[in-house]
Structure 1
Amino acid sequence: MQERAVNVLRLVFGLLAAVALGIQGYHVSTQGASMSNFFSYFTILSNMAGVVVLLTGGVLGLLGRPGVPDGVRGAVVLYMTITGLVYAVLLSGYHLPLEIIWVNTVVHKIMPLVYLVDWLAAPPRRRIAYRTALTWLAFPFLYLAYSLIRGPIVHWYAYPFLDPARSGGYGRIAGACTLMTVAFVLVAAALVRAGNALRRRQERAAPAARAEVSQP
Structure 2
Amino acid sequence: MYRWLAPARIAFALLAVVALGFAGHRAATGITGLPNFFSYFGNLSAMAAAVVLLLGGGAALTGRRPVPGTVRGAVLLCTTVTGLAYGLLQVPYPVDMMVPWVHHVVHQVVPAAVLADWLVDPPERRIRPVEAAGWLVPPLLYLAYTLLRGVVVDWYPYVFLDPTIPGGYCRVAGASFLTTGGFALVGAVLLWAGNTLGDRRDARTGTAPPGRRAHARPT
Amino acid at match of 1:203: D
Matches of 1:128 and 1:207 in 2, distance apart?
Answer: 19
Range that drifts further, 124-133 or 26-35: 26-35
Determine which structure has the larger helix proportion and give its number.
Answer: 1
Structure 1 stretches of 4+ moved >3 Å: none
What corresponds to 1:214 in structure 2?
A: none
Matches of 1:188 and 1:120 in 2, distance apart?
Answer: 14
* 1:179 matches 2:184: no
What corresponds to 1:68 in structure 2?
A: 67
What corresponds to 2:212 in structure 1?
A: none
Gaps of 5+ in 2: 208-219
What corresponds to 1:35 in structure 2?
A: 34
Deviation at 1:59, TM superposition (A): 1.0
Amino acid at match of 1:94: P
What corresponds to 2:144 in structure 1?
A: 145
What corresponds to 1:94 in structure 2?
A: 92
Matches of 1:149 and 1:109 in 2, distance apart?
Answer: 29
Cα pair 2:40 2:157 within 8 Å, conserved: yes
Taking the TM superposition and a 5 Å limit, the aligned residue runs for 1:115-154 are 115-154=114-153
Amino acid at match of 1:83: T
Amino acid at match of 1:150: R
Matches of 1:76 and 1:174 in 2, distance apart?
Answer: 24
TM-score normalized by structure 2? 0.90
Matches of 1:89 and 1:170 in 2, distance apart?
Answer: 24
Matches of 2:184 and 2:77 in 1, distance apart?
Answer: 9
SS at match of 1:96: coil
Deviation at 1:31, TM superposition (A): 2.3
Matches of 2:150 and 2:31 in 1, distance apart?
Answer: 20
Amino acid at match of 1:29: A
What corresponds to 2:204 in structure 1?
A: 205
* Deviation sequence 1:137-169 (CA, Å, 0-9, x none): 111111101111111211110111111122322
Amino acid at match of 1:42: F
Gaps of 5+ in 1: 209-216
What corresponds to 2:4 in structure 1?
A: 5
Cα pair 2:32 2:94 within 8 Å, conserved: no
TM-score normalized by structure 1? 0.91
Matches of 1:4 and 1:65 in 2, distance apart?
Answer: 15
Matches of 1:171 and 1:88 in 2, distance apart?
Answer: 26
Aligned residue pair count: 206
Deviation at 1:207, TM superposition (A): 4.0
CA gap 1:129/1:146 in 2 versus in 1, 3 angstroms: same
Deviation at 1:53, TM superposition (A): 0.3
Query: RMSD over aligned Cα, in angstroms?
Result: 1.5
Matches of 1:199 and 1:176 in 2, distance apart?
Answer: 34
Matches of 1:32 and 1:181 in 2, distance apart?
Answer: 31
Amino acid at match of 1:182: G
What corresponds to 1:17 in structure 2?
A: 16
